[in-house]
Structure formats: C-alpha cells, structure tokens
A and B are shown apart, each in its own frame.
Chain A
C-alpha cells in the first residue's frame, strides 16, 4: 500500500490537508506524522506549513528535518504555502531567515501597491508557465485559494504565476518536488484534483 507522510512539526492546519488527501485517496494510506522512521518508509511526502516562517523553521528541526531533507531528494514531494517557502533559499520574514535551499528563489514581502490588500487573501488565478503532471484536469488560469503576506517573485524553478498587484510565483518545483503557494485543501474541487494528481504522480 502506498504510504503518504504528511509532515507534522506542530504547526498549521494539518487536519484539512489530511482530510483532503483522504477524500481523494483510493488505496493510499495517509499518515500525519513526525516519526522519522515512518517518514523514511513512506512513498511520498507532503510538507504543509502556515503562520510565520521562523516559527515553522524552528519547529521543523533536528532529526525530523534531517530525515525529511533526505527523503525529499528523490520521493514525490508536495510542499504547501510556508512549506513551499521553507524549500527556497531564504526569507525576509521575521527579520530574515535562512531556508533549506532546495529550490531556486527568495521569499520577500509582497510588494505594496495602492490597489491591493496584504495579506493576499482569497481566490486568485494560477497561470501555468509550464506543463506538469499535477495540472492534469485543471484548466489554465483556474482559481485557487491563497493566504500569505510573503512570496517568491522569481525563480528558475517556476511552474506558475499569479498576479496580486505584481506577478509572483504561485508554484515551483523540479524533478520530484512540486510546491505551491496556494492551499489546494481549501480550493474546492480543483484543489482536490491537484491532490488526486499528486497521489497518481509517478516519477
């Protein structure tokens, strides 16, 4: 049985991520876990995250972090929101923090402009920059649910972009890693479709 490890490092609404995966899983087992052994024996990794990045990085530490970093080198991995941001080089949030440097790009405060509100909160269009298996059955420029104040403005690993005053990178990845700034678990049918695609993804 395929095992999906949803990494529990004590931050964020894991309930909704695991519920959404449960909703679309057929024979996969969804494990919400912080146990390095279980993570090691899982087939795929989901790395969620909400809140402030410093708190997330502090909580995501020690043996747990080492094991996850090791496993995401080759296992299909989906990172969400701050989970995605943690995979980049660094973030300006909380006075500046170093991140895991797995994907190309930096996290910066969403540039202020007169006609936008921050946090960027609500449904916005995701414009594909490249094809990906995880976009199966999802039309280009579909709405997904966002809630964040920091973003990545450019990356050589960009997969989609979204506009909120300025364009920013709404998903990025390479090889076995796919990561999104938005919340598929809160994006109704198309969000569930993305999780379904992740479960079906073979590398």
Chain B
C-alpha cells in the first residue's frame, strides 16, 4: 500500500476562460474555469492545475479572482502556473487559494528563485515545470525549452531536474513539447529518464489522447501523476472513466 497515482485535469486559462490550442496556436474556447473545475471535482479529480497562458499584468487580476472562486467551491489541491516571477506573485496566489505554484521560465533564468521560494513557502508548494524537447532523433536526450518550445536553452533535462531538486523543488511537472497537443501519448522514455533520476514526484504531461496513454505514462514512464487537458474538456472521457481504467490496470487509484 502506498500513495495513489493521481489524475490531474489541466485548465489553460486565457483572460478568465479555459482555452485549448496546439502549441499556443488555433486557440479554442473550452468554457468557464469555475464551472469546469466543479465538474472535475465531482468526477473525482485528484487535483486541478490551472495555467495562465497569457499571464500579463492585466490578466493576472482575473486569475486571482478565478482562483478565489474555484478555491471557495472545490476542496482538492489547486496548482497555478504561468508567468510567476517573484515571491510576491507566489504569496498572492497562495493567498488567493492556490496550494502549489508551478514555476517555469523564472526558474531557468534564475535558479536561486526556486531556493528562495522553497525556503519561504516550503518545498511542498513549489512545482517546477520543465518543458522538454528531444535533442536529436535518438529520443534519448532532451533539452529544456521555453516559450512553448520555440526557444531552446541548451540545458540538459536530466541535469536540470537534479539541480531543481537540490534547490528545493517539491515536484516536477514534465511536459514533452514534442508530444504536446498531438494526442499520440506521453513521451514515456522522457518521463522514465526523469522519474528514475530524481526522487521527486513527476507529473507526466503533453500528448495524452486516450486512457491507455494515462496507464502507460504511469507504468512505462514511472510518473506519480498524469496531467491532461483536451481529453477531459471536450467530454471524450470523464475523470471517472480515466480512474476506472487506471485501477483496472492494477494501479492504486482513489475512487
């Protein structure tokens, strides 16, 4: 008996609306974040992640309001990411009802920020989001990328996750930018390489297109949790169906 594997629906939010696009292109409206969060909560989501994809100063206020409203109605953990730059941003998000924050670009530009944040708020609330892209065609080494995969950083993913662990991150949100939006399944080799190199929980993200993909992300990738957006938003599958499938595959799942 141990901790259950988690299913985490992700809401990409733009100006207070849930949207979905492939690599930030062809953005489609998918509904109201509060309403969708309640639906996922009722269906048994283990957590909810909300990513503010624009995260400009003007939309930030909308994010705080949306978050407050979700946190007042949904009693499961909430992670918020997108454009988090400093301690003040984190404080404000936690006060608005977030339990965890997901830091991406700011961590790469200034790794000390992870340390500062985890010292102040505790590792348990600092998730480092790592967007990874295959370095070559061998699919055995990956590079950290930023700006939706458009900018390469030259940083090796495995070296980077070891470093963020040392700096006090509590969890890794690992997105394959090669797979994101493709519905071909998670990059399980990538997930495995990361989950076997750090003792932190790893959330697999990017590419889930069906329920077997979720099973594979955990069994082949060694992920502690799987994150998906579009398969849940458009009623292809409910969270319940996803968890049922995972449980039938023999995994420990909270139902």
B-contacting residues of A (Cβ < 8 Å)?
13, 15-16, 19-20, 23, 50-52, 55, 112, 115-125, 143, 145-149, 163-165, 183, 185-189, 191-192
Known contacts A117-B202, A121-B124; can you find 19 more A-B pairs with CB under 8 A? A15-B97, A16-B97, A19-B75, A20-B75, A51-B122, A51-B124, A55-B122, A112-B199, A117-B199, A118-B200, A121-B3, A121-B224, A122-B3, A122-B46, A123-B6, A123-B254, A149-B124, A163-B2, A183-B77
Please give, as numbers and ranges, the residues of chain B lying within 8 Å of A55 by CB-CB distance: 120, 122
Indicate if the CB atoms of A52 and B2 lie closer than 8 Å. no
Q: A15-B96, A119-B201, A143-B254 are in contact. Are A125 and B75 (CB under 8 A)?
A: no
Within 8 A of A (CB), among B95-130: 95-99, 119-125
Alpha-carbon gap, A143 to B255, bound state (A): 9
Report the separation of the CA atoms of residues A121 and B71 in the bound assembly, to the nearest whole angstrom: 19
Q: How far is the CA of A118 from the CA of B76 in the complex (A)?
A: 20
How distant is the Cα of A81 from the Cα of B188 in the complex, in angstroms?
34
The residues of B that contact A52 with a CB separation of less than 8 Å are: 119, 122
Most buried by B among A122, A148, A165: A122
A19 vs B170: C-alpha distance when bound (angstroms): 25
Question: Can you give 30 contacting A-B residue pairs, CB < 8 Å?
Answer: A15-B71, A19-B97, A20-B75, A51-B120, A51-B124, A51-B125, A52-B122, A55-B122, A112-B199, A116-B2, A117-B200, A117-B202, A119-B170, A119-B200, A121-B224, A122-B3, A122-B4, A122-B5, A122-B6, A123-B3, A123-B254, A124-B1, A124-B2, A124-B3, A124-B4, A143-B254, A163-B2, A186-B77, A188-B41, A191-B75
Number of A-B contacts (CB under 8 A): 106
Given the known inter-chain contacts A13-B94, A16-B71, A19-B97, please indicate yes or no for A165 contacting B2, CB distance below 8 A: yes
Q: Is the CB of B3 within 8 A of A164?
A: yes
Q: Interface readout for B175-216 with A: 1 if CB under 8 Å, 0 if not? A: 000000000000000000000000111100000000000000
Q: Does B154 contact A (CB under 8 A)?
A: no
B99 interface neighbour in A13, A124, A146, A188, Cβ under 8 Å: A13
CB atoms of B124 and A148 under 8 A apart: yes
**Contact between A119 and B75 (Cβ–Cβ < 8 Å)?**
no
Q: Indicate whether B72 reaches chain A with its CB closer than 8 angstroms.
A: yes
Chain A residues closer than 8 Å to B125, beta-carbon distance: 50-51
- Mostly helix, strand, loop or mixed at chain A's interface? mixed
Interface residues of B in 1-36 (CB under 8 A from A): 1-6
B135-176 toward A: CB 8 Å interface, digit per residue (1/0)? 000000000000000000000000000000000001100000
A116 to B195, CA, bound (A): 11
Bound CA–CA A192/B76 (angstroms): 11
Which 7 pairs between the two chains have the least Cβ-Cβ distance? A51-B122, A143-B254, A123-B254, A147-B124, A163-B1, A122-B3, A117-B201
Least CB distance, A120 to chain B, in whole angstroms: 6
User: For residue B202, which residues in chain A have a CB less than 8 angstroms away from its CB?
Assistant: 117
Minimum Cβ distance to chain A for residue B21 (Å) = 29
Cα distance, A187 to B47, chains bound together (Å):
10
Closest chain B residue to A127 by CB distance?
Answer: B1
In the bound assembly, the distance between CA atoms of A191 and B74 in angstroms comes to: 12
Give the residues in chain A near B6, CB-CB below 8 Å: 122-123
Bound CA span A124–B201, Å? 14
